[in-house]
Amino acid sequence: MPTIQSIAGELEPHPDVALIARVRGGDISAYDTLVRKYERQLFRIAQHITQNREDAEDVMQDAFLKAYEKLDQFQGNSKFYTWLVRIAVNESLMRLRKRRTGKMVSIDEDIETEEGSVPRDLADWAPDPEQNYNQAELGEILRKTIQGLPQGFRIVFVLRDVEGLSTEETAETLGLSIPAVKSRLLRARLQLRERLSRYFHRTKAVKNTGVGK
């Protein structure tokens, strides 16, 4: 019988492995610990994909319930967190499809764009450019900017750069090849950089223009 094994190459088993064994043994308090550990990340990821707070709340709940019900199918050859993220990504995409009935939603959307693959804005940024804005302004700039990315780039950037998954884990989670993840990541990074440049230029110490609506 295959059992949950420590991730190949790691000497110590991941702490989640013991928690999952306890859940399988009927100890629901161990699942409580796992939910606490990952609920914020799942909420963020769902919010990034659905761009809707209520959807993110539903996705987060449904994903944890689904993971609990399907725990027997978790093989332990990937990290529990990666497996959980994959469920949350799928739930988020399903939710989007429901909301935009008729419109196909997939992570392959809009990836043919060449926009931003060649850097155009070559002016340097101010040192610590985010200091020119207050927290609320900065939050709005960052949200608006990332929301403008094509879905397929945004998810890759969020998983890989914000949530810290490896390139391999991101590829596995999204069902993409490693070269596809790499090419999307580069373009996502360059497009974000390009779009943030207009706020962070050294020459424009814009304190009071606020964020354009």
Partner 1 sequence: MTCKEFLALLDDMIDDSVTAEARAELDAHLGRCAHCEVIFNTTRKTIEIYRSHEIYELPATLRDRLHAAIMARCKKAC
Residue of 16, 47, 105, 159 that binds partner 1 (CB under 8 A): 47
Tell me the Ramachandran region of residue 192: left when phi exceeds 0, alpha when psi lies from -120 to 50, beta otherwise: alpha
CB of 179 to partner 1, least distance (A): 12
Q: Are 23 and 30 in contact (CB under 8 A)?
A: yes
Q: Are 46 and 154 in contact (CB under 8 A)?
A: no
Question: Does residue 122 touch partner 1 according to CB under 8 A?
Answer: yes
Question: Does residue 43 touch partner 1 according to CB under 8 A?
Answer: yes
CB of 68 to partner 1, least distance (A): 5
Nearer to partner 1, 77 or 136 (CB): 136
d(CA 65, CA 42): 13
Beta bridge partners of 201: 125
Of 79, 83, 85, which is closest to residue 14 (Cα–Cα)?
Answer: 79
Place of tokens 């850097």: 119
CB of 104 to partner 1, least distance (A): 25
> Judged by CB under 8 A, which stretch of 82-90, 96-104, 170-178, 195-203 contacts partner 1?
195-203
- Site for partner 1 (CB under 8 A): how many residues? 44
Question: What mask of x and - would describe binding to partner 1 in positions 141 to 180, judged by CB under 8 A?
Answer: -xx--x----------x---xx------------------
Give the Å distances, CA to CA, from 108 to 32, 111, 119, 131, 151. Answer: 34, 6, 23, 35, 8
Nearer to partner 1, 23 or 174 (CB): 23
d(CA 194, CA 143): 15
d(CA 109, CA 92): 15
Q: Are 99 and 55 in contact (CB under 8 A)?
A: yes
Question: Does residue 200 touch partner 1 according to CB under 8 A?
Answer: yes
Q: Which of residues 59-78 bind partner 1 (CB under 8 A)?
A: 60-61, 64-65, 68-69
Q: Name the site residues for partner 1 (rule: CB under 8 A).
A: 28, 31-32, 35-36, 39-40, 43-44, 47-48, 56-57, 60-61, 64-65, 68-69, 119, 122-125, 129-130, 138-139, 142-143, 146, 157, 161-162, 182, 185-186, 189-190, 192-193, 196-197, 200
